[in-house]
Structure 1
Amino acid sequence: MALTISLTACGGGDGDGQKAGGGNTPSSAPSKETSTDDGNGGNTVPDTSVTLATIIGSNGFQFVINTAVRDAGGFLTVTGSIKNTTDKQIYAPIQWNGQETQVKRTGPSLGGTTLVDKTEKKRYYVLRDTDGFPLTTTGVTGVKAGESIAFFAQFPAPPDSTSQVDIQVPMMPSATIEIS
């Protein structure tokens, strides 16, 4: 089974190419990402020199969070990688997609990921574009044994006074990350 990753992000354009099978370069890429060919079709790979958190799930998936960057437009973009730590191909749980009807039509995604600001007592959901598609990595179905894939998710930015948030991926433990 082929692994497809489509990245979408806020920005100009009429939304063409941001739906299934669309472009793989976000129009408002986080400042620490660099485009390199990682052997998976030229996916955008996050800067891995810093690790904010590592989330180890019981299902064999490991999320490594590398960046949580605010931008001037009021967004917070989280980047990292998803690794299969097992010796066989494993498949992304459907719960990662989220429960919203509009997000479900996107297909496999990380649309169910949330951030929790404990200080302000608020939960932030992955942003949606004008067509209702989540601004996160889509097309994550299966990951081969020992392989990693890059991911991103874009959220509304918490207030400037908030320096830490908890990231919650469905069916995984939560982790606290620093916002830069």
Structure 2
Amino acid sequence: MSMWHGAKARRAAAVALAATALTVSLTACGSGGGNDAKENGGSSTSGEPSADTPKDDGAGGETPDTSQVLATMSNGNGLEIAFHSAKRDEGGFLTVTGTLTNTSSKQQYAPVEWNGQEQQVRRTGRSFAGFTLVDKAEKKRYYVLRDTDGYPLTTTGVVAVKPDEKVAVFAQFPAPPDSTTQVDIQLPLMPTATIEIS
């Protein structure tokens, strides 16, 4: 019984942390309407035009700082993901942020394989629950965290991506040991990318 209650408490802590992170990101991003960002040229710190700033996916992901690119992966059909950060959070979590871009001249669709294979995440609909991290040094694989209802702590709702459209994505995992500074990130139908943990 104590193991069950311990697991339940850990899941509750994960949900509370995710809710806090979501509240903070929505507060930071929700101070003005969508038109304000266009009129003011966006809030990019790299001085790039606002057209290059990925939009918030509206499903819990925050707009990442695109000034740094840790790695990219591409499926060869025009969908490309650039990873911008992999940060350890308090509570033993690792949050990876990135930008999904359609580099083709045609509308592309996020593959259903990206949703993951588990029954409990299929009801979420389109998501990035198929992301995994591989710690080669420790010989461990990490999956996207789920909340107590089985929903993945990752970007959801991405189906169609228009030409040149950028969508902010995130995924939260259990953090590897502090000694691990580099992991491989994988997503079905995409090549493996290696990213540094900050």
Per the shorter chain, which TM-score range?
Answer: 0.7 to 0.9
Q: Would you say the 8 A contact 1:110–1:138 is kept in 2?
A: yes
* Residue-by-residue CA offset, 1:34-57 (whole Å, 9 max, x unaligned): 637567578531011111001121
- What is the aligned partner in structure 1 of residue 87 from structure 2? 69
Distance 1:147 1:89 in 2: 9
Identity of paired residues, percent? Answer: 59
Alignment of 1:101-180 (within 5 A): 101-180=119-198
Q: How does 1:41-80 map onto structure 2 within 5 Å?
A: 43=58, 44-80=62-98
Q: What do you get for the CA RMSD once the two structures are aligned?
A: 2.3
Q: Is the 8 A contact 2:145 2:174 kept in 1?
A: yes
Where does the alignment leave 5 or more consecutive residues of structure 1 unmatched? Answer: 1-9, 19-24
Distance 1:41 1:98, change over 3 A: closer
Deviation at 1:150, TM superposition (A): 0.2
| Higher gyration radius (CA) | 2
Given that 1:51 and 1:64 are in contact with CA atoms closer than 8 Å, whether structure 2 keeps it comes out as yes
- In structure 2, do the counterparts of structure 1 residues 27 and 127 end up closer, same or farther at CA, with 3 Å as the change threshold? farther
Deviation at 1:91, TM superposition (A): 0.4
2:22 to 26, 31, 36: 26
Report SS of the residue matched to 1:83.
Answer: strand
CA gap 1:59/1:87 in 2 versus in 1, 3 angstroms: same
AA of the residue aligned to 1:161: S
Give the letter for the 1:160 counterpart.
D
Aligned partner of 1:87 in structure 2 is 105
Q: Tell me, in whole angstroms, the C-alpha distance in 2 between the residues paired with 1:117 and 1:94.
A: 25
Q: Distance in 1 between matches of 2:56 and 2:99?
A: 16
Provide the TM-score with structure 1 as the length reference.
0.80
**Are residues 1:98 and 2:89 paired?**
no
- Confirm or deny: 8 A CA contact 2:94 2:172 kept in the other structure: yes
The structure with the greater share of residues assigned to helix is: 2
Q: Which ranges in structure 2 are unaligned for 5 or more consecutive residues? A: 1-13, 39-54
Question: 8 Å contact 1:35–1:42 — kept in the other structure?
Answer: no
Give, in whole Å, the separation in 2 of the partners of 1:93 and 1:55: 14
Q: Give the Cα–Cα distance (whole angstroms) in 2 for the partners of residues 176 and 41 of structure 1.
A: 24
Give aligned pairs, total. Answer: 158
Q: Where does residue 35 of structure 1 map in the other structure?
A: 29
Instruction: From the two aligned structures, give the one with the greater strand fraction.
Output: 1
The alignment's TM-score, normalised by the length of structure 2, stands at 0.73
Amino acid at match of 1:159: P
Q: Any runs of at least 4 consecutive aligned residues in structure 1 with deviations exceeding 3 A, and if so which?
A: 36-43
Cα separation, 2, equivalents of 1:41 and 1:113: 19
Q: Distance in 2 between matches of 1:28 and 1:75?
A: 17
